[in-house]
Amino acid sequence: PTAVTYPHPTPAELPANRVDWRLDPSRAALLVHDLQHHFLRCFPPGTEPLTGLIDRTARLIEAARAAGMPVIHTAQRGGQTPAQRGLQLDFWGPGVPADPAAHGSPERVAPAGDDIRLTKWKYSAFARTDLEERLRAAGRYQLVVTGVYAHIGVLMTAADAWSRDLRAFVAADAVADFSREDHDMALRWAAGRCARVAPTADLLKEF
């Protein structure tokens, strides 16, 4: 898609959650999912949902670092071979180009300091990575998820966390998608099946 613009859902527009999990910063980590220039190019600069996505993710990163929570950034490798792409090649083509400018991140949400950088290969951040092992080794059983795209990698990662008995918290206004319809569908499915969905402001109160 190109030139994607739409407003983030307001708190009143969010789906009802099936669970009432509360965030515990001593047992949680923050996942910044695929915020690479390659994936953000469909959003015109200075418009929603991009501006809110970057602003609220930056606030979550700052709060997580201050609370001593691990901050984990996923990024797909540029210039993948067909073997590395696998079935993603059939659906999405060659993916992120080898150009460093494409696989970098906006400065406000880029990895820094002790942040963890994780190379991601499939929709779920758990697929073919050691994310689960890192979380358990650090005593982290909750995962706050931000990034793109809500109905693809964000949703698949939240569902995969559920499959591993890890509690996912999706920041409803710190994710973005191809359309508001896709965004809403992802939040609705997550809230009813695998995660707690909440506005960034509500999650920040629990840090």
The per-residue pLDDT for range 96-113, each reduced to its tens digit, is 888 888 889 999 999 999
The DSSP output letter for 152 is I
For residue 62, pLDDT beyond 90:
yes
Per-domain boundaries in the chain: 22-204
User: What's residue 135's pLDDT?
Assistant: 99
CATH topology of domain 22-204: Rossmann fold (3.40.50)
User: What's residue 103's pLDDT?
Assistant: 86
Catalytic option among 20, 24, 34, 160: 34
For residue 59, pLDDT beyond 90:
yes
User: CA–CA separation, 104 vs 110, rounded Å?
Assistant: 8
What's the predicted TM-score (pTM) here? 0.97
- 184 catalytic, yes or no? no
